[in-house]
Chain A
Amino acid sequence: MNRLGLIIASLFILALVLYLPGFLEEPPVQVLDEDARALTPTYQARNLTTTIYDEQGNRIQQVFSSHMEHYQFLGFVLFQAPQYTIYQETNEPPWQVVASEGTLYDNNMIQLENDVVIVSKNPEDFVQRVETDYLEIDLDKQSMVSEAHVEISGPDFLIQSNGLKADLLNKTYELNQHVQTTYQPAN
């Protein structure tokens, strides 16, 4: 093998030595960091109906949502335009709750935002409707809390208040920053 051949062969070996590790190396596995993983929905669903039962098998609530994202690591489920049905222990007709957005947390707390409307499906109920832009519902205690402006209405009255504490079970409402209540006259 003449001198030229030797030079070419050594250059070839040199190139091989330089680039071979590069070829052998496996492409780095894309390991999402903890935060990025948490912020990615575990799963998403469309037009989903979720029903939740208590330990005794009684239906507590049902929610239908056009779009739902479940964030397992963060411990909540995001609903777009949720329609909740909250069942009462006393087997009375349920409450119907709609909002622009809803978040259900693992501890059975629901946070509702924007155009929140609660309607009683029981015509006998004194309070028939509650409207606000922000509301938290504790499903276990069947209680509701809001700091926002609230309108509560019944067959012949309308209450306006800033903030609300309500017990759906006992049907009591505490309005600590009451604004005004109007009773309609007999027609």
Chain B
Amino acid sequence: EQSDFKKPIELKAESQFLDGKNKKSVFIDNVQIVQGSLNILADRVEVEATEGKGKEVFSATGKPAVYRQKLDDGRTVEARAFEIRYEVSSRTISLNGQAELIQNSSVVKGDSIVYNMEKEQLMAKGDGSGDGRVTTVFSTETIDAIKQDKKPKKPTPDNDDQEEPR
């Protein structure tokens, strides 16, 4: 939700190592990032705070790391990847390594996905099989919704990387 981004970011973890000189922190074991309805679970999170307040970058890694957030319409978006990088200032998350994003019951899989949480838009690249394809699976529910609205609500994939599955 939009209101999430005005809330403090809370991190829980079993241990933390803080490097005051480089303004970097590492959180280890059962790491949870919470900001309103935004929630990231990971094994390890590195936080870079060199740019100062509200411009931190959180790099969460896990097998996989999991992101969840409630959308303004009440539904939930979820994503998984080996690395989830949350840039606070641009309100985007970058998913790398077997990236998967589930939104409005459609699933996008790719090697890397960049998702703008504010605009609820995503850009996917290569599904890791080496031929640059991205797989998008629309559930029947979504297709029915499209028929009804007659205004297909497609994600705005990057044209040269995206190939629609038929």
**B49 and A157 within 8 A (CB):** yes
- How many pairs of residues, A versus B, come closer than 8 Å at their CB atoms? 93
Measured between alpha carbons, how far is A185 from B47 in the docked complex, in Å?
14
How far does the alpha carbon of A184 sit from the alpha carbon of B11 in the complex, in Å? Answer: 12
Closest B residue, CB atoms, query A152: B18
Chain B residues with CB below 8 A from A152, complex form: 18
Is there a chain B Cβ closer than 8 Å to A181's Cβ? Answer: yes
Contact, CB under 8 Å: B25 / A181: yes
List chain A residues, Cβ under 8 A from B17.
172-175
Q: Say whether B53 contacts A181, CB under 8 Å.
A: no
Q: Return the CB mask of A149-187 against B: 1 if under 8 Å, else 0.
A: 000100111010100000000111111111111111111
Measured in the bound complex, the distance between the Cα atoms of B56 and A104 in whole Å is 40
Interface residues of A in 109-159 (CB under 8 A from B): 125-127, 152, 155-157, 159
Which of B1-9, B96-104, B118-126, B132-140 contacts the other chain? Answer: B1-9
> Measured between alpha carbons, how far is A182 from B56 in the docked complex, in Å?
12
**Residues in chain A within 8 A of chain B (CB atoms):** 125-127, 152, 155-157, 159, 161, 170-187
- 6 A–B contacts from the bound complex (CB under 8 Å): A152-B18, A159-B16, A174-B16, A178-B27, A182-B9, A183-B56
Give chain B's interface residues, CB within 8 Å of chain A. Answer: 5-21, 23, 25, 27, 35, 47, 49, 52-56, 88-89
